[in-house]
Structure formats: C-alpha cells, structure tokens
C-alpha cells in the first residue's frame, strides 16, 4: 500500500477568496470559519473572502487566515474523500512554518480553536518584533546551500528557509541582505529576490517573540499525536507534547528545513503528497525536490473534482 503525507502551506499562500467554495458548499468547512471568527473576535471569514489583499497579507491576519482555510480544506477532504478512499489516510504530516500548526491540528495534537488562538498570538508577537528593525527576507535562487551559508556568516544574515534545491531564503537587516544578495549573485546565484515581508522571520531577531510564544504554549492543551508530524527545525518526527512545544517555540527563530523534511518522508516510503490549503506553493517545491513523486492538492471545488490518486 502506498504511503501518503499531508502537507500544509505557510504565510505567503494567502489570496482573496480562499476557502469560499468550501464555505458555501460544505457545512464542516463553514463551521471552521465560523469558529475562527468567534475565537478571534473579528470577521476573519469576510477578510478571507473579500479582502482587501493588503490587509489579508498583514502577518497578524494572514497567519490565522491560512490556518483556518487549511483546516476547512482538511474537513472537506475528510468528509468527501476519506469515507470511500480509506487508503488516503496519512502516514506523516508536515507544514511549512505556520503550516506546522495545521499539521498538528490534523494529527490530533491541538484542537482547532486552541490552534487559531495560539497562531493569532504568534502573529502579533512576530509583527511586534518586525516593526522594530528595517529588516526583511531575500530568496537566493540557484546557489548551493553551503555557499549560501558561507555568505550568511560573512554578511551577518541567517538562513531562514531551505525550501528546495536552488531556493533558499535568508533573513536579516535590509542593508545586510542587499550585500548578501549581491555576493550571492557574484558567486553564481541566478537571482536574489527581496520578498514582500517586513520582518526578519526565522532569525534571531524573532527571539523576543519566541520567548513570548513559549509562555503561551506552556499553557496550551497539547496531546500526543495520532500521526507523526515532521518538525521544521529538525526534519524529524515529533509525537509528544514536550517535543511539540519545543518545535513550535524554536521554529520562530530557527530555519525551516523543508527540503530535508520532504526527503525524510520520501526515505520513509512516502510516494504521494497531498497539499491541503490555499494555493499550490508546496506542490511546486516538492516537485523540485523529487520530480518522480506524486503531488495532489485540495484548495477549492475545482481541485476537489480533479482529485484522484
């Protein structure tokens, strides 16, 4: 029997209208959006469906919005595909940065209403630190990991995301990022692209946010997982509450080892990945990591009708 992994997107996958199809057509999806509105105390649902994109893209809104949409998509998969295709049950789950929270909800480790509350706090803490410095993130395309790491050391920036071969995101002060980008291109990188974010996420600039989040997580109800989640910071499985708290805490300032995580799951026998949530960012990354791997996605009615394994 084939092994399946569910993967969940992170910040940057937001788009106006995400989740609307499923909200209109499936009661479990509607229930997730309604619950998020109740927990957060503002109409997140309306922001997801109507925008504006400028507001939806702000960290404090995009993070709970993507989590909510992803879990709504998961509920649709569970109601419409799993009852007749039990073999779609996952062996592993994983999420890119913020997406790790979606994976933990799917694994039974955190209740959705608890997760959306934590993510709301996480986003506020991160945004607070982002506003303190003229910092950002830059994608380095077409350069080996070791070379990017060397440049980071020389220019006082940090590796934030190792997404796939030839795509590494670095994080730090804007003036340092500019120098690092120039040096990367001189060393053979195809491009250095400044990302549309206003903070040095997944770097030591987020340590104060990390400390605040640790306190929130210490009070959260977290259970043993029914299915292992591959942690961003180690690219290894986690299953118990202590491991989960440590992973979610360190993740804010640590590197997202996405390429390593995908390779680990493939090594364990995973042959099909299902991306659950808005857009298809992870689908593209996974295909660049292993072109022979099957990757599906669930995000709207069109993708649901086209779904087949």
Place 197 in a pLDDT band, splitting at 50, 70 and 90: confident
Active site residue 96: no
Residue 309 has pLDDT above 60, yes or no: no
30 and 17 in a common domain: yes
What pLDDT score does 63 carry? Answer: 97
178 and 277 in a common domain: no
299 and 166 in a common domain: no
Place 308 in a pLDDT band, splitting at 50, 70 and 90: low
Neighbours of 131 (CB within 10 A): 11
Instruction: Kindly name the residue from 57, 97, 171, 247 that is annotated as catalytic.
Output: 97
Q: Which residues sit opposite 162 in a β-bridge?
A: 168
20 and 98 in a common domain: yes
271 and 240 in a common domain: yes
Assess contact for 20 and 49: CB atoms under 8 A: yes
Q: What pLDDT digit, counting tens, does each position of 39-56 carry?
A: 999 999 999 999 999 999
252: tokens are: 């804010």
Instruction: Kindly name the residue from 96, 117, 120, 202 that is annotated as catalytic.
Output: 202
What pLDDT score does 307 carry? Answer: 84
Active site residue 97: yes
Rounded to an integer, what is the distance from CA 65 to the centroid of its chain? Answer: 12
Neighbours of 146 (CB within 10 A): 8
Residue 86 has pLDDT above 70, yes or no: no
- State if pTM tops 0.85: yes
What pLDDT score does 123 carry? Answer: 97
Q: Give the domain CATH number at 23.
A: 3.40.366.10
254: tokens are: 């640590």
Residue 85 has pLDDT above 90, yes or no: no
Q: Give the Cα separation of 36 and 219 in Å (integer).
A: 20
Domain of residue 267, residue span: 3-130+204-306
Number of domains into which the chain is organized: 2
Note if the bond before 52 is cis, omega within 30 degrees: yes
Q: Give the Cα separation of 3 and 273 in Å (integer).
A: 9
Token pair 């070379």 is found at: 147
Q: Give the Cα separation of 278 and 12 in Å (integer).
A: 10
Average per-residue pLDDT in the chain? Answer: 96
188 and 216 in a common domain: no
Q: Which residues sit opposite 79 in a β-bridge?
A: none
Q: Give the Cα separation of 220 and 99 in Å (integer).
A: 18
Q: What DSSP letter does each residue of 41-79 carry, written as one string? A: TS-HHHHHHH--HHHHTSHHHHHHHHHHHHHHHHHHHHH
175 and 26 in a common domain: no
Mean pLDDT of 159-171: 98
Q: Give the domain CATH number at 143.
A: 3.30.70.250
13: tokens are: 């996958």
Residue 106 lies in a domain: yes
Mark residue 4 as left, alpha or beta (left: phi above 0; alpha: psi -120 to 50; beta: remaining): beta
């Amino acid at each position: 029997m084939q092994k399946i992994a569910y993967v969940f997107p992170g910040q940057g996958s937001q788009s106006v209208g995400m989740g609307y199809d499923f909200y209109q057509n499936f009661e479990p999806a509607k229930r997730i959006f309604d619950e998020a509105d109740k927990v957060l105390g503002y109409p997140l649902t309306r922001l997801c469906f109507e925008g504006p994109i400028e507001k939806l893209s702000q960290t404090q809104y995009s993070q709970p919005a993507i989590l909510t949409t992803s879990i709504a998509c998961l509920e649709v998969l569970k109601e419409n595909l799993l009852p007749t295709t039990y073999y779609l049950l996952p062996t592993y789950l994983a999420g890119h940065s913020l997406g790790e929270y979606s994976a933990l909800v799917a694994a039974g480790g955190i209740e959705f209403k608890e997760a959306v509350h934590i993510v709301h706090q996480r986003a506020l803490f991160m945004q607070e630190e982002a506003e303190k410095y003229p910092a950002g993130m830059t994608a380095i395309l077409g350069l080996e990991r070791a070379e990017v790491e060397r440049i980071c050391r020389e220019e006082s920036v940090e590796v934030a995301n190792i997404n796939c071969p030839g795509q590494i995101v670095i994080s730090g002060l804007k003036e340092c990022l500019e120098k690092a980008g120039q040096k990367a291109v001189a060393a053979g990188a195809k491009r250095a692209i400044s990302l549309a974010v206003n903070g040095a996420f997944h770097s030591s600039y987020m340590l104060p946010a990390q400390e605040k989040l640790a306190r929130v997580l210490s009070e959260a109800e977290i259970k043993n997982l029914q299915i292992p989640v591959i942690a961003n910071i180690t690219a290894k499985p986690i299953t118990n509450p202590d491991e989960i708290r440590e992973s979610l805490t360190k993740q804010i300032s640590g590197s997202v080892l996405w390429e390593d995580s995908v390779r680990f799951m493939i090594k364990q026998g995973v042959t099909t990945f299902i991306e659950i949530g808005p857009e298809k960012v992870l689908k593209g990354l996974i295909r660049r990591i292993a072109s022979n791997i099957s990757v599906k996605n669930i995000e709207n009615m069109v993708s649901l009708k086209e779904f087949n394994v």
